[in-house]
């Protein structure tokens, strides 16, 4: 099970200001089959539940304050302290991802409304806890539940989450030979994210400067985590599919080749989802025992039951 930290209200805990929750069915019912959740709620720990709602206010000196909607009391310091404690808690849990509640002045990721002291709206920003997480975690699988309603963002997030976890597991017993194998197995997944970075990672693995393995691993980790945080696109995925086809083309007759290319074209035209050409590629790779393709993480980046590539909208 992958450990994922999640805003407690998304898990159905009654921790909101009105003692309600915002249970998210994708997180709880679908991702929950593969994840162990670590919940957090800085507001509930700081102010208990129910409590007066709060808002984020930008002051004249451009600082962001947390103000009670009921009493106008400045609660910034109290919330800040409890947010830091919750951050330490999730950090100690070896988490591999983070899902935050959107629009909250505490948990929102660039979706928390900011007000001026005169009550006028002043755009959006990270909530108090979200901004601490952003500073702490860097290239980390981190999303809001609201954005995860978008099939493309959801697929990208879940792919990043499982790849991140895979790297952390690999790191436990990493050796040079294993890094070469790891990199090979991520070739097409990395190319679907960022071709240039894939090549740079190849240079690191090539180790022409004869660096120590620890140094290489550190460099590889930083760049790998950056690469998997990038979003895929139709054109990058098309290149990957064409490239994969190249490994089986010599086994196929012209009608089989035509059908595969028609499926790739239909995928690009958003007539069929990605799972269609991928299933055909897998079929031929299995039939003709093309192990290089069958070992590619791009074919199975996460449990197939999540069926995230079965939606046409999972591509942009």
Binding site for ligand SF4 (CB under 6 A): 7-9, 15-16, 41-44, 101, 104, 106-107
Which residue lies nearer to ligand SF4 by CB, 31 or 278? 31
Query: To 10 degrees, what angle do helices 213-228 and 151-171 make?
Result: 170
Phi, psi of 22 (to 5 degrees): -135, 55
State the nearest-atom distance from the C-beta of 75 to ligand SF4, in Å. Answer: 12
Strands 112-116 and 121-125, by their bridges, are antiparallel
Tokens 């190319």 found at: 191
State the nearest-atom distance from the C-beta of 52 to ligand SF4, in Å. Answer: 13
State the nearest-atom distance from the C-beta of 13 to ligand SF4, in Å. Answer: 8
State the nearest-atom distance from the C-beta of 92 to ligand SF4, in Å. Answer: 18
302 touches 33 (CB < 8 A): no
Which residue lies nearer to ligand SF4 by CB, 95 or 244? 95
Which residue lies nearer to ligand SF4 by CB, 13 or 256? 13
H or E element at residue 88: helix 76-91
Which residue lies nearer to ligand SF4 by CB, 103 or 238? 103
Whole-number Å distance between alpha carbons of 234 and 240: 10
State the nearest-atom distance from the C-beta of 271 to ligand SF4, in Å. Answer: 39
Quote the distance between the C-alpha of residue 181 and its chain's center.
23
Q: CA dist 269 to 15, 84, 234, 263, Å?
A: 44, 47, 9, 10
Phi, psi of 285 (to 5 degrees): -65, -35
**Closest Cα to residue 75, out of 110, 39, 48?**
48
Whole-number Å distance between alpha carbons of 133 and 127: 10
Which residue lies nearer to ligand SF4 by CB, 66 or 228? 66
Which residue lies nearer to ligand SF4 by CB, 41 or 158? 41
State the nearest-atom distance from the C-beta of 55 to ligand SF4, in Å. Answer: 13
State the nearest-atom distance from the C-beta of 6 to ligand SF4, in Å. Answer: 8
Whole-number Å distance between alpha carbons of 176 and 261: 37
Which residue lies nearer to ligand SF4 by CB, 42 or 97? 42
Which residue lies nearer to ligand SF4 by CB, 77 or 286? 77
Whole-number Å distance between alpha carbons of 158 and 139: 14
State the nearest-atom distance from the C-beta of 49 to ligand SF4, in Å. Answer: 8
Query: Exposed e or buried b for every residue in 2-25, given b needs 16+ CB within 10 A?
Result: bebbbbbbbbebebbbeeebbebe
Please report the sign of the dihedral spanned by the C-alpha atoms of residue 234, residue 239, residue 242, residue 244. negative
């Amino acid at each position: 099970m992958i450990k994922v930290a999640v805003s407690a209200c998304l898990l159905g805990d009654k921790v909101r200001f009105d003692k309600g929750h915002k249970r998210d069915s994708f997180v709880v019912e679908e991702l929950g089959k593969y994840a162990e959740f670590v919940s957090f709620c800085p507001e509930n720990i700081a102010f208990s539940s129910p409590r007066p709602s709060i808002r984020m206010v930008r002051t004249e000196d451009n600082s962001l304050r947390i103000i009670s909607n009921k009493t106008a009391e400045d609660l910034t310091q109290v919330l800040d302290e409890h947010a830091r404690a919750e951050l330490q808690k999730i950090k100690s849990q070896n988490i591999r991802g983070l899902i935050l509640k959107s629009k909250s002045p505490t948990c929102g990721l660039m979706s928390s409304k900011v007000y001026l002291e005169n009550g006028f709206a002043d755009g959006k920003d990270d909530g108090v806890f979200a901004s601490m997480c952003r500073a702490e975690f860097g290239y980390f699988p981190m999303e809001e539940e609201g954005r995860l309603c978008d099939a493309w963002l959801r697929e990208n997030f879940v792919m990043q989450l499982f790849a991140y976890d895979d790297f952390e597991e690999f790191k436990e017993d990493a050796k040079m030979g294993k890094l070469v194998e790891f990199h090979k197995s991520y070739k097409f997944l990395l190319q679907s994210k960022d071709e240039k970075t894939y090549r740079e990672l190849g240079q690191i693995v090539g180790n022409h400067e004869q660096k120590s393995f620890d140094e290489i691993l550190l460099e590889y980790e930083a760049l790998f985590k950056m690469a998997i945080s990038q979003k895929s696109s139709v054109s990058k995925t098309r290149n990957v599919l064409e490239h994969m086809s190249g490994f089986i083309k010599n086994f196929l007759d012209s009608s089989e080749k035509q059908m595969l290319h028609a499926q790739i074209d239909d995928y690009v035209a958003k007539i069929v989802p990605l799972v269609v050409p991928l299933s055909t590629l897998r079929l031929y790779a299995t039939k003709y025992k093309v192990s290089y393709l069958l070992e590619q993480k791009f074919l199975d980046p996460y449990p197939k039951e999540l069926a995230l590539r079965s939606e046409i909208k999972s591509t942009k």
